[in-house]
Amino acid sequence: MTEQKETLQDKTVTEAPKAEGTQEAPKKKREVLPGVKMLQDIVTDVYQAAWDAKKAGRPVGWSSSKFPCELAEVFDLAVVYPENQAAGIAARHDGERMCQEAENMGFDNDICGYARISLAYSAGVETTNESRRVPEPDFVLCCNNICNCMTKWYENIARMHNIPLIMIDIPYRNEIGVSEDNVAYIKGQFMDAIEQLEKISGKKFDEKKFEEVCANANRTSKAWLKVCDFQKYVPSPMSGFDLFNHMADIVTARAKKTTAAAFDQLAVDLERYRQEGKSTAPFEEQYRILFEGIPCWPALRDLFKPLKKDGLNVTAVVYAPAFGFVYDDLDSMCAAYCKAPNSVCLEEGVEWRAKLCRDNKVDGALVHYNRSCKPWSGYMPEMQRRWTEELGIPCVSFDGDQADPRNFNAAQYETRVQGLVEAMADRRAKMKED
């Protein structure tokens, strides 16, 4: 999840020092699109709503990012998201200290950096990132469609605070598609979750309101996917990293009308940029790449700088559109929440990425082997081999971490990016010869 206020591009050094005696030209201020302005306060409002609820004596929940948010939204429950919180803490350079605090408590440094930050915070360790402070939870919502670490992470939070844990278990898919048995299994858990949320909220489930909430969530997801689709244009009217910056909104406020309206407006803005030949990327697009995995939030400047230097625009990511849950009814809603990068079989995962690469016309791939996300990184060598063979594009990888800066080496990363640039240039030259 992303830190909303300080974006990747905001952290990037854009100008070289001027020679002595020369007058520095005034910097051209980047346009803030109307849709982006609408999105800027949404995450802040979600966090503020949680504090307001706590002060008023109403229950506050902590939720995994891909838990069906519609189930809590129908009861007007205030919910915050530890993954988004941890990403924000990491982006503001407090991740290493929080991870170390968790390790001092006995949590292994091999587990997810988000989990370590969250567990430290849950145990009472305060963060220096004031914008990502949240009230103590009264209940937790967990869905393991993201990873297997998620279950134990949220179990520990529930034990620390002696609060209810509502768990949605999504079976791993060994085959393409979702079986009727899996849908029935998940639907039963939805019904159980609704009963538990009735007790927590003190409200009865309202079928009509649930339909309204689902309609809002679908509208938001469709608008989000439309925004993601703008990356297919050449040149792309947006930087792929802008999708990462906006993910905080799709995660924390997917079922809210304001979020849907903001993404609808952003789609309008990007269409204008497309027609005008503009882009949110602060450089001219020379190459188009797939960025595989979660960004290294503590190293945003180092991550972006070599991409900008050689004009590498990220035009394909699987992480962002994976939050676009679209469905027609309760059964298809259950099936929709089965689609996550770490819950689909290898064959489906390969095709998912290969289609993105073909549709979005990528020249190469940059793969993040993320120490914090072993389910994702574990099958990446085989996936990388398959889509490289199928697509014929150069592919390089780098070691890193989504939250713990100790696992990222900027020099190694820059070398790998340079290698990718050279490989893409060679491929382009050979294609011209042929």
Which pLDDT value is given to residue 344?
85
CA distance 410 to 414: 6
Share of the chain above pLDDT 70, in %: 94
What's the pTM? 0.90
Using alpha carbons, select from 76, 331, 62 the residue that is nearest to residue 198: 76
Which pLDDT value is given to residue 28?
59
pLDDT at 391 over 60: yes
Which pLDDT value is given to residue 181?
93
How is residue 74 written in tokens? 């129908």
Beta pairing partners, 289: 314, 364
Question: Residue 397: what are its φ and ψ, rounded to 5°?
Answer: -130, 160
Pick the more confident residue, 241 or 92.
92
CA distance 217 to 222: 9
Q: What is the pLDDT of residues 149-173, one digit of tens each?
A: 999 999 999 999 999 999 999 988 8
pLDDT, mean of residues 385-398: 90
pLDDT at 107 over 90: yes
pLDDT at 10 over 50: no
67 in Cβ contact with 162 (< 8 Å): no
Which pLDDT value is given to residue 11?
38
Q: What is the pLDDT of residues 17-30, one digit of tens each?
A: 333 333 444 455 77
pLDDT, mean of residues 221-245: 93
pLDDT, mean of residues 401-430: 95
